[in-house]
Structure 1
Amino acid sequence: MDKLIKARTAELRNERNRFAALAFVWGDILLELDGDFRIVFASGASDGILGRRPQQLSGHLFHSLLAKQFQPLVTEMLQVARRRGRMDNIQVRFVHPDEQLSPPVSMSGYFLPDLGDHFFVALRVAINALPADVARSIKRDHATGLLDEESLSKVVTERLVAQRETGTEHKFTLMTLNAFDPLCKRMEQIERDELLASVGAFLRAHSVAGDTAGRLASNQFGMLHRPDVRIGELEQRIADCARDADPKGVGIEVSSSVTDFTAELIPPGDLARGVLYSIRRFCDRQEHGFTFSRLMGQANNLVNDTFSAMHDFGARVDRLKFDAAYQPIVRLPSAEIHHFEVLVRFYNDDGKLIPTQQLITFAEQVNMVHRLDLAMMRRTIKWIRTQLDLGLTVRVAVNVSGHSLENPDFCRSAIALFERNRDALGQLMIEITETSEITDIDGAAKWISRFREFGIEICLDDFGTGASNFRYLSALEVDYVKIDGESIRQSMKSGKGQAFMRSLVDLCHSIDVEVVGEMIETDEMRELITKAGFDFAQGYLFGKPEADISLYWRDAKTPRQ
Structure 2
Amino acid sequence: MDVVHEPGGLSTASAIADLATDWYWQLDENLCYLFHDGRRAPLNAPDHASLAGRSRLSHLCGGGAATSSVLQHQSMLEQHLELDMNIAVEQAGGTLVHCHIVARPILDANGQFRGYRGCGRDITDSVVMQQQLLHMATHDELTGIFNRRELHTRLQRLHDFVQGTRHEFSLCLLDLDRFKLVNDTAGHAAGDRLLMDLVELIQGFLAEGETIARMGGDEFALLLESPADSAAKRGRCMIDAIADYEFTWENRPYKVGACIGITPISDGQGTVEELTDRADSACYAAKNEGRNQCVVFSHDSQAYLEYRAELEQLEMIKSALQANRLRLYMQVIEPSTRRTQRAHYEILLRLESENGELLTPDAFIPVAERFNIMQDLDIWVLEHCLNTLEAFRQRGQEISLSINLSGNTLSDQSALQRIIDTIRLTEVPASLLCFEITETAAISNIDNVVSFMNSVKQEGVQFALDDFGAGLSSFAYIRSLPIDYLKIDGYFIRNIRSDSTNRAITAAFVQLSRDLGIATVAKCVEDKATRRCIQRLGIDFVQGYGVARPRDVDQMLSELSVEPVRKVAWSGMIGNNPGSLA
Larger Rg: 2
Q: Does 1:518 align with 2:561?
A: no
Q: Is the 8 A contact 1:341 1:396 kept in 2?
A: yes
Seen in structure 2, the aligned counterparts of structure 1 residues 402 and 522 have a Cα distance that, compared at 3 Å, is same
Question: 1:345: how far off?
Answer: 1.2
Q: Render the CA deviation track for 1:414-443: whole Å, top value 9, x for unaligned.
A: 001121124432322211135656533112
Matched, 1:455 2:460: yes
Cα distance in 1 for residues equivalent to 2:446 and 2:284: 35
Tell me what 2:409 maps to: 404
What residue in structure 2 maps to residue 125 of structure 1?
208
Instruction: Go from structure 1 to structure 2 and tell me whether the alpha carbon gap of 1:424 and 1:125 turns closer, same or farther (over 3 Å shift).
Output: same
- Counterparts in 2 of 1:311 and 1:212: CA distance versus 1, 3 Å: closer
Within a 5 Å distance, the mapping from 1:360-375 to structure 2 comes to 360-375=365-380
Measured against aligned partners, the alpha-carbon deviations of 1:12-45 in whole angstroms (never above 9, x if no partner) come to: xxxxxxxxxxxxxxxxxxxxxxxxxxxxxxxxxx
- 1:138-537 matches, cutoff 5 A: 151-152=258-259, 169=275, 172=278, 214=286, 216-217=288-289, 223-225=295-297, 257-258=300-301, 279=303, 282=304, 287=306, 303=308, 306-307=310-311, 309-317=313-321, 320-334=324-338, 338-434=343-439, 436=441, 438-537=443-542
Q: Is the 8 A contact 1:339 1:394 kept in 2?
A: yes
Question: Residue 289 of structure 2 aligns to which amino acid in structure 1?
Answer: A
Structure 1 residue 488 displacement after superposition = 2.1
| CA 327–463 in structure 1, closer or farther in 2 if over 3 Å, else same | same
How far apart are the structure 2 equivalents of 1:353 and 1:506? 40
Distance 1:102 1:510 in 2: 52
CA offsets 1:377-413 (integer angstroms, 9 cap, x no match):
0000011111111121011111111221111111100
Q: Do the aligned residues in 1 keep the contact of 2:468 with 2:489 (CA within 8 Å)?
A: yes
> 2 CA distance for matches of 1:158 and 1:463?
47
Q: Which deviates further from its counterpart, 143-152 or 452-461?
A: 143-152
Q: Distance in 1 between matches of 2:291 and 2:444?
A: 29
- Determine helix, strand or coil for the equivalent of 1:351: coil
Contact 2:257 2:292 in 1 (8 A): no
1:446 Cα deviation after fit: 1.6
Q: Deviation string for 1:427-462 (max 9, x for gaps)?
A: 222111356565331121122112112221111110
Count residues in correspondence.
Answer: 340
Please, which moves more after superposition, 469-478 or 129-138?
Answer: 129-138
Cα separation, partners in 2 of 1:397 and 1:318, compared to 1, 3 Å: farther
Distance 1:344 1:131, change over 3 A: closer
Q: Quick one: distance in 1 between partners of 2:264 and 2:170?
A: 15
1:322 corresponds to which letter in structure 2? L
Q: How far off is 1:481 after superposition?
A: 0.9
Q: How does 1:22-41 map to 2 (within 5 A)?
A: none
Equivalent position amino acid for 1:524 in 2: A
In structure 1, how many angstroms separate the alpha carbons of the residues matched to 2:542 and 2:284?
51
Counterpart-to-counterpart distance in 2, 1:102 and 1:528:
60
Deviation at 1:338, TM superposition (A): 4.1
* Superposition deviation, residue 524 in structure 1: 1.6
> What one-letter code is carried by the residue in structure 2 that aligns with 1:541?
G
Contact between 1:156 and 1:212, CA under 8 Å: does it hold in 2?
A: no
Change (3 A) 1:129 1:429: closer
Offset at 1:545?
0.5
Asked whether the equivalents of residues 386 and 428 of structure 2 are also in contact (C-alpha less than 8 Å), the reply is: no
Q: Hey, what's the Cα distance between the residues in 2 that align with 1:136 and 1:88?
A: 13
Letter of the aligned partner of 2:346 in structure 1? E
Measured in 2, the distance between the counterparts of 1:502 and 1:425 equals 32
Contact kept? 2:286, 2:295, Cα under 8 Å: yes
SS across alignment from 2:314: helix
Q: 2:39 corresponds to which residue?
A: none
CA distance in 2 between counterparts of 1:464 and 1:151 reads 32
* Partner residue in 2 for 1:70: none
Q: Distance in 1 between matches of 2:560 and 2:528?
A: 19
Whether the 8 Å CA contact 2:329–2:350 is kept in 1: the answer is: yes
Instruction: Report if the CA contact (8 A) 1:398-1:428 is conserved.
Output: yes
SS in 2 for 1:467: coil
2:521 match: secondary structure: strand
Give the conservation status (yes or no) of the 8 Å contact 1:147–1:213. no
- Work out the percentage of aligned pairs sharing the same amino acid: 20
Judged with a 3 Å threshold, the aligned counterparts in structure 2 of structure 1 residues 166 and 104 are, in CA distance, closer, same or farther, namely farther
Q: What is the Cα-based RMSD across aligned positions, in Å?
A: 4.7
**C-alpha displacement at 1:527, in angstroms?**
1.2
Instruction: Give me the whole-angstrom Cα distance separating, in 2, the residues matched to 1:218 and 1:321.
Output: 36
Give the CA deviation at 1:105: 6.4
Distance 2:300 2:426 in 1: 51
Counterpart in 1 of 2:18? none
1:444 alignment partner AA: V
Q: Check 1:459–1:537 CA distance in 2 against 1; reply closer, same or farther (3 A cut).
A: same
Is residue 316–residue 322 contact of structure 1 (8 Å, CA) maintained in 2? yes
- For residues 212 and 328 of structure 1, the distance between their equivalents in structure 2, rounded to whole angstroms, comes to 39
Say whether the 8 Å CA contact 1:332–1:530 is kept in structure 2: yes
Q: Distance in 2 between matches of 1:494 and 1:349?
A: 44
**Structure 1 residues 146 and 314: alpha-carbon distance in aligned structure 2, compared to 1, 3 A threshold:** farther
Amino acid at match of 1:310: L
Q: How much has 1:479 moved relative to structure 2? A: 0.7
> In the alignment, is the contact (CA less than 8 A) between 2:316 and 2:353 conserved in 1?
no
TM score, norm. by length of structure 1: 0.51
Using the TM superposition, give the Cα deviation of residue 359 of structure 1 relative to its aligned residue in structure 2, in angstroms.
1.7
Residues 430, 458 of structure 1: 8 Å contact kept: yes
User: Matched residues in 2 for 1:90 and 1:379: separation?
Assistant: 43
Query: For the Cα contact (< 8 Å) 1:463–1:469, is it kept in 2?
Result: yes
Deviation at 1:317, TM superposition (A): 2.7
SS of 1:466's equivalent in the other structure is coil
- Asked whether the equivalents of residues 170 and 262 of structure 2 are also in contact (C-alpha less than 8 Å), the reply is no
